[in-house]
């Protein structure tokens, strides 16, 4: 007990010390001699404190650092010092984590033991939440960079960005005490460090490892968010092995140094994690002759030989990093609730503005200053509205690149050669839409690779380029975004689809048009795969696509030419917050029907309407019988038009089924801002939300699908 207490106080002191060191070395690029001395003194305290805490490893670490610093011109090594301190900081955290759950202190063994130790962070939940968000962003960026790297293996920018991503995750994880994440990220970082120093060549197997690591870490993030890191299966051991093997293989032919100066001729390239470098320096004390060259590689701590080395440091202290960061767009994180509030207020502003405007234009002289001012105000308001809406928009490129990653993985799995091209990555779309689009896109590319694209041999036989192409493109079309996935595979197999559909009794033997056949692939449980694989064949693909897209108030279309390929087109509103709506009148009430589900509007003639058992009503339109749903009956609205021939029928479509909604009259087409009905009204059947109409009243937005299901 007494011992733990002492340890805690020492721990506290140590932390303070390291933090101070960090602050000092970070504070400015220019460190003067006096400051340098203080830093050295501080470092000198480290081993003593660590020894006191019975942290042998840390003590050794401190001593070796101290030796490195002694006699060197500290001011010249500020960048490397900074790195050393950062590492020190991480180390202190890590060691204390370990200390709480005792483990071997030798770093090598520690890494070996990764899979066993699953401590959770006791850190502030909001910090943890930030960590998860940030790490996810890093992982997404890492994935993109990894793919970029595969195309251009010596893209220094990409390697640096990758390194930064894993390094940031590592640092944050260490800080918050997610030891597993920290140690794993560290392994990846080591691999990347070799790549950064061009000691291993980035092949696609290296990219594979990096991607697998990113996947593992993102699973960790999910688990951390779920509150329990230990739910992640301990799969890192094989991964770590893979990473190490990659390093080993990559470094086998000992390429001579890239960063080396003449002073260091032979560099040993054994796979040594970066942190261990410090230990190496320590070993250098024992065998100083060999180790001079050994400690050369990671520039950070190789401060020993004064002249030539310091240059190496200057060169490799990443200037690219600064450049890359400068190029990033400035942005700030804003809570979405604030954006929503702003949007509400702007909506109100527009309504208030239009009320004032109508009033003024009615009364004032068209040439008066007042009229001119109000016109200007109108313009400003609409500008403000547009800007507000655009704040929720993000470029769709990230999503497309993520999909490209899936294509890559699947193509390898199926032994197909696929090249992905992206178009319109800058097309902006509401963040929530982009998120919801991920699943449908995944299913579509899966489908394309599994069913659409032939094997290289088949393609050759068909006189095609063995390298297949999948093109993802996005563009704006009015107030919609159109996302297309096209492949140059064999197209939809009509006969196979028909055969399967007959087997499953989905169709009778009537004549089917092409559109009908395309329609079939969207039916639930439908699959033409001969055998069920983990990729497709369970038939959950295409109907998921359709359901997702319709949920977002969009639609999906398919075009296919036998032998030439298939194209999926997804049309979505730019934002979930605004939809194109058809405003209709029923009795005294007005409702908004999402235009995306409206197919046709007509007024029937008496002869085309028929009843079934005096209850159900049907109308004949283009040789098809469609059921009529009377909205006034559905919503119990009095004083509505009851004669279908005096009313208006709106042909609505949901999940491929069409029916007619009967309303009194049309008022117009309007873009409406979708609002939540709030608390207990949210689950009201037939109503998906509300909106503020032009006169300031609330109009209800109809949930066409649920009306159809209920009716």
Partner 1 sequence: MQSEYALVSKSAPLPASPRAGKYLVFHLGREHFGIRVLKVREIMGLQDITAVPHTPAFVKGVFNLRGKVIPVIDLRRRFQMPEIEYSPRTCIIVVSLSGADEPVPMGLVVDGVAEVINIAESDIEATPAFGNELDTSYLLGIAKIRGEVRLLLDIDRALNVSQFEALTKFANTASSEVM
Binding site for partner 1 (CB under 8 A): 343-345, 347-348, 589, 634-637, 675-681, 683-687, 689-690, 692, 696-700, 710
Looking at the Cβ atoms of 101 and 356, the one nearer to partner 1 is 356
Closest approach, Cβ 661 to partner 1, in A, equals 14
CB 528 within 8 A of CB 500: yes
Q: What is the spatial order of strands in the sheet that 609-612 belongs to?
A: 598-602, 648-654, 657-663, 624-630, 616-621, 609-612
Closest approach, Cβ 140 to partner 1, in A, equals 28
Closest approach, Cβ 335 to partner 1, in A, equals 13
Residue 129 host element (H or E): helix 125-151
Q: Distance from CA of residue 120 to its chain's centroid?
A: 25
Looking at the Cβ atoms of 554 and 699, the one nearer to partner 1 is 699
Coil vs helix vs strand at 402: helix
Neighbouring C-beta atoms of residue 279, cutoff 10 Å:
18
Looking at the Cβ atoms of 563 and 685, the one nearer to partner 1 is 685
DSSP symbols for 194-234: HHHTTSS---HHHHHHHHHHHHHHHHHHHHHHHT-GGGS-S
Closest approach, Cβ 480 to partner 1, in A, equals 25
Closest approach, Cβ 121 to partner 1, in A, equals 24
Closest approach, Cβ 685 to partner 1, in A, equals 6
CB 160 within 8 A of CB 196: yes
Looking at the Cβ atoms of 495 and 613, the one nearer to partner 1 is 613
Residue 624 host element (H or E): strand 624-630
Classify burial at 402, counting beta carbons within 10 Å of its beta carbon; exposed 0-12, middle 13-18, buried 19 or more. Answer: middle
Closest approach, Cβ 69 to partner 1, in A, equals 52
Closest approach, Cβ 285 to partner 1, in A, equals 59
Looking at the Cβ atoms of 411 and 702, the one nearer to partner 1 is 702
Closest approach, Cβ 380 to partner 1, in A, equals 18
Looking at the Cβ atoms of 326 and 678, the one nearer to partner 1 is 678
For residue 27, give both structure tokens.
């504070």
Closest approach, Cβ 572 to partner 1, in A, equals 24
Q: What are phi and psi of 212, to 5 degrees?
A: -60, -40
CB 343 within 8 A of CB 673: yes
Closest approach, Cβ 634 to partner 1, in A, equals 7
Q: What are phi and psi of 560, to 5 degrees?
A: -145, 140
Looking at the Cβ atoms of 226 and 696, the one nearer to partner 1 is 696
Looking at the Cβ atoms of 301 and 650, the one nearer to partner 1 is 650
Cα–Cα distance between 613 and 610 in angstroms, integer? 10
Cα–Cα distance between 81 and 323 in angstroms, integer? 21
Looking at the Cβ atoms of 266 and 345, the one nearer to partner 1 is 345
Closest approach, Cβ 702 to partner 1, in A, equals 10
Cα–Cα distance between 633 and 662 in angstroms, integer? 10
Looking at the Cβ atoms of 414 and 635, the one nearer to partner 1 is 635
CB 548 within 8 A of CB 439: yes
First to last CA, the chain: 71
Cα–Cα distance between 515 and 501 in angstroms, integer? 14
| Closest residue by Cα to residue 265 from 246, 238, 292, 287 | 292
CB 361 within 8 A of CB 336: no
Looking at the Cβ atoms of 260 and 349, the one nearer to partner 1 is 349
Identify the bridge partners of residue 700 per DSSP, sorted by sequence position: 591, 690
Looking at the Cβ atoms of 388 and 566, the one nearer to partner 1 is 388
Residue with tokens 């640092």: 171
């Amino acid at each position: 007990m007494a011992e733990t207490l002492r340890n805690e106080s020492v721990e506290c002191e140590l932390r303070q010390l390291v933090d101070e060191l960090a602050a000092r070395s970070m504070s400015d690029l220019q460190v003067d001699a006096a400051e340098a001395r203080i830093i050295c003194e501080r470092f000198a305290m480290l081993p003593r404190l660590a020894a006191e805490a019975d942290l042998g490893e840390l003590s050794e670490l401190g001593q070796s650092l101290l030796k490195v610093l002694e006699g060197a011109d500290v001011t010249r090594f500020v960048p490397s010092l900074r790195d050393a301190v950062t590492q020190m900081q991480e180390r202190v955290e890590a060691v204390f984590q370990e200390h709480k759950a005792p483990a071997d202190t030798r770093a090598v063994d520690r890494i070996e033991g990764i899979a066993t130790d699953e401590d959770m962070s006791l850190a502030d939940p909001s910090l943890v939440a930030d960590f998860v968000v940030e790490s996810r962003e890093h992982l997404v960026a890492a994935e993109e960079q990894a793919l970029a790297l595969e195309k251009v293996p010596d893209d220094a920018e990409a390697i640096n960005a990758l390194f930064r991503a894993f390094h940031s995750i590592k640092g944050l994880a260490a800080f918050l005490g997610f030891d597993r994440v920290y140690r794993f990220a560290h392994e990846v970082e080591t691999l990347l460090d070799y790549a950064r120093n061009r000691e291993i060549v980035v092949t696609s197997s290296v990219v594979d490892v990096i991607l697998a690591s990113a996947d593992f870490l993102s699973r960790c993030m999910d688990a951390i968010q779920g509150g329990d890191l230990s739910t992640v299966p301990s799969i890192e051991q094989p991964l770590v092995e893979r990473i190490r093997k990659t390093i080993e293989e990559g470094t086998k032919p000992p390429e001579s140094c890239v960063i080396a100066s003449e002073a260091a001729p032979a560099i040993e390239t054994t796979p040594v994690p970066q942190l261990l470098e410090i230990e190496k320096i320590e070993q250098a004390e024992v065998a100083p002759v060999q180790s001079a060259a050994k400690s050369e590689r990671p520039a950070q701590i190789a401060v020993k030989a004064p002249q030539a080395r310091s240059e190496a440091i200057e060169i490799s202290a990443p200037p690219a990093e600064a450049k890359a960061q400068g190029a990033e767009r400035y942005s700030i994180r804003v809570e979405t609730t604030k954006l929503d509030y702003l949007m509400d207020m702007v909506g109100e502003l527009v309504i208030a503005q239009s009320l004032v405007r109508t009033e003024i234009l009615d009364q004032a002289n068209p040439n008066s200053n007042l009229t001119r001012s109000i016109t200007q105000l109108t313009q400003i308001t609409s500008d403000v509205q547009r800007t507000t809406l655009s704040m929720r928009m993000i470029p769709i490129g990230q999503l497309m690149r993520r999909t490209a990653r899936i294509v890559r993985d699947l193509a390898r799995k199926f032994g197909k050669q696929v090249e992905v091209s992206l178009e319109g990555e800058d097309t902006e779309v509401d963040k929530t839409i982009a998120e919801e689009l991920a699943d449908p896109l995944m299913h579509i590319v899966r489908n394309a690779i599994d069913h659409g694209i032939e094997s290289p041999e088949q393609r050759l036989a068909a006189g095609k380029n063995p390298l297949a192409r999948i093109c993802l493109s996005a563009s704006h079309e009015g107030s919609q975004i159109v996302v297309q996935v096209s492949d140059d595979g064999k197209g939809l197999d009509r006969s196979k689809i028909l055969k399967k559909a007959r087997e499953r009794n989905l169709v009778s033997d009537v004549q089917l048009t092409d559109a009908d056949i395309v329609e079939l692939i969207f039916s639930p449980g439908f699959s033409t795969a001969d055998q069920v694989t983990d990729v497709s064949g369970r038939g959950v693909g295409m109907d998921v696509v359709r359901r997702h897209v319709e949920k977002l108030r969009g639609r999906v279309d398919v075009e296919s030419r036998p032998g030439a390929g298939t194209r999926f087109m997804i049309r979505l509103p730019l934002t979930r917050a605004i939809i194109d709506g058809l405003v209709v009148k029923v009795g005294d009430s007005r409702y908004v029907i999402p235009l995306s589900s409206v197919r046709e509007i007509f007024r029937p003639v008496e002869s085309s309407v028929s009843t079934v058992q005096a209850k159900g009503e049907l109308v004949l339109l283009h040789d098809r019988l469609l059921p009529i749903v009377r909205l006034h009956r559905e919503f119990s609205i009095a004083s509505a038009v009851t004669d279908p021939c005096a009313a208006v029928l709106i042909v609505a479509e949901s999940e491929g089924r069409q029916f007619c909604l009967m309303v009194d009259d049309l008022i117009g087409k309007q873009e409406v801002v979708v609002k939540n009905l709030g608390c207990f009204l949210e689950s009201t059947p037939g109503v998906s939300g509300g909106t503020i109409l032009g006169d300031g009243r609330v109009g209800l937005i109809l949930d066409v699908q649920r009306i159809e299901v209920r009716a």
